[in-house]
Structures are given as C-alpha cells and as structure tokens.
A and B are shown apart, each in its own frame.
Chain A
Amino acid sequence: MTATGLDALAIAAAVRAGRLKAVDVARQAIGRIDAAGDLLAITQRLDDRALAEARRVDALVAQGRDPGPLAGVPYAVKDLFDVAGLPTTAGSASREHADVAPGDAGAIVRLQQAGAVLVGTCNMDEFAYGFVTDNARWGITRNPHDHARFAGGSSGGSAAAVAAGLVSFALGSDTNGSIRIPASFCGVYGIKPTHGSLPMEGVYPFAHTLDDIGVFARSAGDLALVDAVLRGSSQAAGAPHPALLGGWFARNLTPAMQLALDDFSAAIGPLPIVELAEVERARSAAFVITACEGGRLHAAALRQVAMAYDPATRDRLIAGGALPDAIYAEARALRAVFIERARALFDRHRVLIAPVTMGPAPLIADPTVLIDGTAKPARANLGLFTQPISYLGVPVVAVPLAVPGLPLGLQLIGAWGDDAAVIAFAADLERRGLIGARLLA
C-alpha cells in the first residue's frame, strides 16, 4: 500500500490500523522530495530524523499503544521554526552560523507527540518579509502548477510542498498574508488562526503583534485535525450566516478572479454584500506596524551586517526601523477603531468571504500586480486583501476555489476565537464541490 495521494486522516488511520508502516510512508515522502526537481520547496532534508520518528510510531503500533491522531503523517515546517540541532535561519544567509536550536518549537513538539513525522524545512522570503518566496540564499520556490510563476509567500515552500504532494501538511507563519497568499496560489488550504491562539515558542518573529503560525493542508478535514492537535482541543462550530465583503475587496480583481467569484456566489446562493469600513487605512496601518516592528527587531544586526541580508528585505527593514514611536502609536491606535467596526459586522455574520488576492500567481518574469491601473511590485503588494484582516487578528481560512486554470483562493473570515466556524464552513463548501485542493500527488 502506498501513502501517495492519501490525506493525513487516511494515512494516520492506515498506520494506526497496521495497514501502513510509518517508515514506508516516510521513505515514500523522501522519494517524492528526491524527485521534486527545481520546485525548491524543501531547503533542509531531515531524512534521518524522519526515519527515527517513523520507527518510534511503528514500535508503538507493534506494542498495541496509540501513536496519536497523526500517526506516521509526513510534514514539513517553514524555515523559521526551531528544529533541534539546526540553526533557525528564518531564510537568511546572515543566520546560517547562528547557534543551533536546543530543542524543537512548541508546535513541532505537539505534532511529534501526535505521531507526525518531520521530513524537512521549507523555503521562505527572508525573515518572512515578502509575498513571493524569492530568497537570495536558496532561490525562488516555483509554483507547482506552473513553474514560470511564483508560489506566493512568505511561506511559499510550505504551500508548494503540500500542493506537489511531497508532504501531507506543512506549517507556515502568517503576518500579513504569508499563509493565505501561497495557499491560494498553490491551490491548497491554509489557516491564520485567531491571533495568539497557537504556540509561538521557538518561532523566529517578524512583527510580533501580527505574527501567527498556521497549517497548510490538502483538505478541510486535515486542516481541522492538525489545527486541533496544535491547539490541544477541538472547538464547537455553529451556523455560518455568511456574507460577501464588497467595496475594497471587490476592486482590482482580474477577470479570472471576478468570474470565479461570480460563479461561487451563484452556486452558493444569494449572499448579502457588506462593507468593512476604513479598510484602506487599516491596510496601511498594518503595513506601518509591520515595517516598524520588523525594522526594530533587526536594527542592531543591520548596523553590523547589513550586506549579509537579502537586498529586497534589507532595504525595507532599514526604512521601517526609522519609524518614530509616535507614528507606530498612531498605527496601533487605529486598530481599536477598526476592530469595533468589524465587530458590528460579526454580530450579524459569522463568516465573511473575500478573495485572497486580486488574481492568480504572478509570473516570475513579471513580478508585478495591477493596483488602480498601475503596476506595483508583487513582493510588497500582494497583501492588499489579507493585510487588513491580519490587523483585526481574527481567524481566516484560505480555501482553493474549484475553478479551471490557475488556482485562486477565497478567505473565509471568522470572529475572534471562532476558528472552528470557518473550518466547518470550509468543510461544508468542500462537500458541496465549491472548493477543493489542486494537488499533483
């Protein structure tokens, strides 16, 4: 029996029942990574560790003990999670000689306890500052569905690894869209949970008031399972009462995204269209907060080793580090106003729906997006629809639309703490055939 093509739920069930050996599942994942060519999703292989973890799972099964709900399921993590014995580079050549991590990140510990098998680390934009996964140290992660296009970022390696079937699920981080954008471009599921609700120990920070870790998965069921393991509990879900976000989120759409959204709206039935007030100001405030927190985090290092940084990241961080306290405080203060206005919407609608991006993944040869008719750099501007949602700190699941052509994604946005409602809504849409992952294996 092969694990290729199975989701995490099916692999774990087969391993726990003794129909699959975890070691064989790990070897198959290693083989798929060997065959991945120039995808550049995985940056560091952990073959020995993976096989050792898999043997432990098989030993538990042989002893009649429960190896956990993710028994033998292969996964990978973005290069900013601590992995015992490796330096946590956060995708930067400037940290290749940093001290090795003394232990695993908290999220990895929980996954290991649940029986999951870590096979590698994933490419990313340096220090998570970008939306394309174009890394000066490792190179560009290719979109599995069209190697001439970006996978999205900053967690692009994680998304590509899942879409290409190298692993069953992957972990990433999302500050302004860094899970949702690559999930959308690669045709898989991705979640940014309620801010602060998943373990951040051992995760290299970027902008601490916006950072969260989250999961990439090949089905809504897998997303729910891994999220529950990370959270340590399952949550109850209720009726979604969805609405479509208009205004800001209906502008600048490519024809393909507009058509996909129209088809989705027609299929799901009449949806109320609502507006989130002050979105443009919120997006800019999130941009300022990110630049300031990221810039201050790296200010001391940049004064010492600026030229060891990726040029595309370095110049943004230096500029952000110059933001004065007063402007940072302004950006933080606006958040309370924006949250109050959003709260009024969530009183009426448990799930808000919006596109993840304006259109499909940009071409690597033309790294721009059209905003109000002007071509802007994709690296900094793909977060037009994701950044304002990050600013709220609410849970969001990026789901892959069931459309022909290049993958496109929607954001399903819930109220604070209502992660289960958006995951359950995603599962419902998947059952109805309106969404579904686009996988190579």
Chain B
Amino acid sequence: MTQTPAQPVPAGLFEQAHDLDDAALVAALGWPVPLPCVPGVASNLRLLADHIAIMRGARR
C-alpha cells in the first residue's frame, strides 16, 4: 500500500512543512511513498524545513 500523491512537489512545500499533517505533506512529494515511511518522511521534511530556515538566518 502506498500514499499516492495527486500533484508534483509544490513550490514552498518546505515553508509550509509545519502547517501540514503527515499525509498531506508526504502526498505533496509527487510519488508513491510506501505508507510505513510516511511518518518518518514527514518528520524529516520538517527537520529540513528547520535547517532551511536556519540557513536563511533564522535563529534556533
């Protein structure tokens, strides 16, 4: 079973990563991520979003 996305990765996905639930966030990737991976992938997308913000000058 997979979490099948309906659309390609939208611009600004990482900026919205903390506003979407796991399923919506992973669905936005644009490819069928296996369901067992969804929580882990979502968590890592949010972690990357945090690092992108720090890279851009936000303080931890």
Contacts and interface: CB of A to CB of B under 8 A. Distances in A.
Interface string A335-373: 000000000000000000000000000000000000010
Interface string B12-38: 011000000000000001011110110
A288 interface: yes
Interface in B44-60: 44-45, 47-48, 50-52, 54-57, 60
Nearest to A291: B48
Interface in A318-346: 318-320, 322-324, 327, 330-331, 334
- Find the residue from B45, B55, B60 having the highest chain A CB count within 10 A: B55
A47 to B, nearest CB: 39
A322 B54 contact: no
Nearest to B54: A284
B34 to A, nearest CB: 5
Given A314-B40, A318-B29, A327 B52 contact: yes
A281 interface: yes
Interface stretch (A17-25, A114-122, A303-311): A303-311
A285 interface: yes
* B contacts with A: majority SS: helix
B31 A315 contact: no
Interface residues of A, number: 27
B36 A319 contact: no
A263 interface: no
Contacts of A372: 60
Contacts of A284: 50-52, 54-55
A320 B48 contact: yes
Contact of A319 (B34, B44, B56): B44
A380 interface: yes
A425 interface: no
14 contacts: A281-B55, A284-B52, A303-B31, A307-B34, A311-B36, A314-B37, A315-B37, A315-B40, A316-B40, A316-B44, A318-B37, A319-B44, A319-B45, A324-B11
Given A291-B44, A327-B14, 16 more contacts: A281-B55, A284-B54, A307-B34, A307-B36, A311-B37, A315-B40, A318-B37, A318-B44, A319-B44, A319-B45, A322-B9, A322-B45, A324-B9, A324-B11, A327-B52, A372-B60
Interface of A: 280-281, 283-285, 287-288, 291, 303, 306-307, 311, 314-316, 318-320, 322-324, 327, 330-331, 334, 372, 380
Interface of B: 9, 11, 13-14, 29, 31-34, 36-37, 40-41, 43-45, 47-48, 50-52, 54-57, 60
Closest 8 pairs (CB-CB, A-B):
A315-B40, A319-B44, A284-B51, A284-B54, A284-B55, A287-B51, A319-B45, A285-B55
